[in-house]
Amino acid sequence: MQDYLLRNNIFWCDVGDGLIFLDLHSERYFSLPRADCISLSKFVKGWPACSEATLAAVNSQVAESLVKRGLLTQDLQLGKPMEEVRVKVLDAIEPAGRTLEGESRIRFQHAVRFAMSYCMVSARMRVLGFESVILGLKRRNTYLANNRYSDPVNLKSVLNAFQRIRPLFYTARDRCLVDCLVLIEFLQRSGITANLVIGVEVRPFTAHAWVQHEGTVLTDWRANVQDLTPILVV
């Protein structure tokens, strides 16, 4: 009987040797060996099926330990079935730091929009925390998807403006998450939806964030992200 659910603030991905979990509340990653994953498929709704021919003795001790760590719950209001994250990387626009073709003049409205985006993201991260920022991002993207503006906005033009203005505020080096959140806020203020994607690599362990519009990567080279395993897409 599958009694356990993944807590709503937990996201996961399968990296072959086991599972990696991201806890939005504590902003930490956890790993679970494949041997422990085998037994959990009997207890957790949506847990990936295991194909190993020989299974270890099945018991709920591992599940109970994950409940204590805040990864699993039996509360229907606090939990969700496990669903694997899937995202397609089809193409990439020139990554941030390169100038796109198009208008070179920085418009005042773009500068104001960038300043507002940067201030809002900084304030949210400092006051609300990462978990609330992600939930807010999801709500705003849902709203934009259901309330499209009548005037189409050229994505490359907006991205060009962002890349020209950003050096006046900060550099993207070693700040991939903040840079992605500011870009998404900037795009949303222009009526464009985009997704934050966080991917991981195991050896050595690395976590990296990038922005996608549909299947197009906006903030990185395609080769830099295609081998990462997505753990969160918002």
**Packing angle, helices 155-165 and 108-127, rounded to 10:** 70
pTM of the shown model: 0.84
234 residues of the chain, pLDDT tens digit each: 557 888 999 999 988 888 899 999 999 999 888 777 766 766 677 776 655 444 444 456 777 888 888 888 888 899 988 888 877 776 777 554 454 555 556 788 899 999 999 999 999 999 999 999 998 888 888 887 766 554 445 788 888 899 999 998 988 777 889 999 999 999 988 888 899 999 999 888 999 999 998 888 999 888 888 889 999 999
Spatial contact of 155 and 188, defined as CB atoms under 8 Å apart? no
Q: Domain boundaries in the chain? A: 5-80, 91-233
Compute the distance between CA of residue 233 and CA of residue 40 in angstroms, rounded to an integer: 24
Residue whose entry in the numeric block shows the structure tokens 């050229």? 154
Phi and psi at residue 170, to the nearest 5°: -165, 170
Burial category of 167 from C-beta neighbours within 10 Å (exposed 0-12, middle 13-18, buried 19 and up): exposed
**What is the CB neighbour count within 10 angstroms for residue 89?**
19
